[in-house]
Amino acid sequence: MAQPSEVRDKAFAEFVLPEVEVLLRVAMSLTAQPADAEDLVQDTLLRAYKAIDRFDGEHPRAWLLTIMRRAEINRHRRRRPYLLADPDTDLDRLAGADTVASPEEAVVDEDFDEVVRAALAALPDKHQRVVRLVDICGLSYAEAAEVLEVPEGTVMSRLHRARKWIRIQLAAAGLAPRPKRSRM
């Protein structure tokens, strides 16, 4: 008869380990820092291992993304007192981080990827996250909605606006694809 730890290890290997790459991509989109993303994935894996006995085997990715989302929320809660310790300092720091070069400066003598990166960086955070989750990490609208805790329609709307902004920036750089001619 299998020992409880052997059953737990087998379930972890079957349901959790195949999703590690996705977890890392999603964590990168949530944290934007490789070290923070790795910490978040490690925390998620640890929590999943501890809770694998209660997992029903259905939809492991959704289960893991829920664990990750809750772990990220807890991380922000732990940081909150520090951020509120000196609001003036934090506001000055945040104001300096939001300065982005104008679109014209960002695209001069740059290739397609650089224009897309600059356009993505200029988007509000909520739009950047949707693009990263859906277009870069390959999550479905429903999975992205679950991670962001917003309705699926909100994901679709934000993605539409973000893609439109990126297309505008590509057109400004002369890199947008030519529109197809309609046939009548």
Question: For the segment 156-171, what is each residue's pLDDT rounded down to a tens digit?
Answer: 999 999 988 888 887 7
Least confident among 16-25, 49-58, 84-93 = 84-93
pLDDT given at position 92: 54
- The CATH topology of domain 100-176 is Arc Repressor Mutant, subunit A (1.10.10)
Cα three-residue angle 20-22-28, rounded to 5 degrees? 100
Residue 70's identity, in one-letter code, is R
| Nearest CA among 113, 109, 168 for reference residue 136 | 113
pLDDT band at 23 (very low <50, low <70, confident <90, very high): very high
Q: Is the pLDDT of residue 114 over 70?
A: yes
Measured CA to CA in angstroms, residue 129 lies from 26, 29, 42, 107, 177 at distances of 9, 6, 21, 22, 24
> Yes or no: is domain 1-88 CATH 3.40.50.10320?
no
Q: Which residues of 95-123 are buried (b: 16+ CB within 10 A; e: fewer)?
A: eeeeeeeebeebbeeeeeeebbebbbebb
Over its C-alpha atoms, the chain yields an Rg (Å, rounded) of 20
pLDDT more than 70, % of the chain: 73
For the chain, how long is the longest CA-to-CA vector?
A: 71
What is the pLDDT of the chain when averaged over all its residues? 77
Domain with CATH 1.10.10.10 in the chain: 100-176
Residue 75's identity, in one-letter code, is R
Higher-confidence residue of 129 and 174: namely: 129
pLDDT given at position 109: 40
Least confident among 20-24, 54-58, 84-88 = 84-88
Q: Is the pLDDT of residue 154 over 90?
A: yes
In this prediction, residues 106-129 reach a mean pLDDT of 75
Domain with CATH 1.10.1740.10 in the chain: 1-88
- The DSSP symbol for 86 reads -
What does pTM read for this prediction?
A: 0.49
Residue 3's identity, in one-letter code, is Q
pLDDT band at 153 (very low <50, low <70, confident <90, very high): very high
pLDDT given at position 152: 92
Q: Is the pLDDT of residue 84 over 70?
A: no
Q: Is the pLDDT of residue 83 over 60?
A: no
